[in-house]
Amino acid sequence: MIPSKNVSIMCFHDELCQVFNALMTALSLLRNGSKVTVFFGSRGVFAVHKEHVGHLACMPDMPEQGAAVMKRMDELDLPLLEDMFVALVAEGAILLACPLNVPLFGMSANDLVDGVTLADPARYYKDVVIQADMNLTF
């Protein structure tokens, strides 16, 4: 049996492909026995905003390529971010948003996707990042 790992995933982007990769990585690790915490900071807080999560774009600076990627994602019938958040919460992941960036972008805790809470930065770094067997950044 593979030993359980403590994994910290940090998502600092609101670009759909980056967020998708972060969430899919989190789900894969979680389903293989790891304890997973996902932290959304900087522009990543838009990925956990109830009204923005369904409207994230893939490669917004390259519209033609982004449209091609979105088309391919649809063809592959990949899960929606909203569904991945539900699965992560149901399967025990801890989902945190940066308490500095949320208000910076005019958001509050009430705007966050269900299951996402504001992080306590001192505890997050001490109890999650430093203790993690793996720290992944997207």
Per-residue confidence band for 12, with pLDDT thresholds at 50, 70 and 90:
very high
Q: Is the whole-model pTM more than 0.85?
A: yes
Is 29:36 a contact under the CB 8 Å cutoff?
yes
Max intra-chain CA distance, the chain: 46
pLDDT (0 to 100) of residue 63 = 87
The neighbour count for residue 49, using CB atoms within 10 Å, is 22
pLDDT (0 to 100) of residue 74 = 86
Element (H, E) at 36: strand 35-40
Residue range 71-114, pLDDT digits in tens:
898 899 899 999 999 999 999 999 999 999 999 999 999 999 99
Per-residue confidence band for 7, with pLDDT thresholds at 50, 70 and 90:
very high
- Say if residue 25's pLDDT is above 70: yes
Is 53:47 a contact under the CB 8 Å cutoff?
yes
Mean pLDDT, the chain, whole residue set: 94
Residues pairing with 9 in the sheet: 38, 136
CATH code linked to domain 19-137? 3.40.1260.10
Q: Nearest to residue 93, comparing CAs of 3, 8, 4, 12?
A: 8
Helical residues (DSSP H) of 32-136, grouped into ranges: 63-75, 81-90, 101-104, 121-123
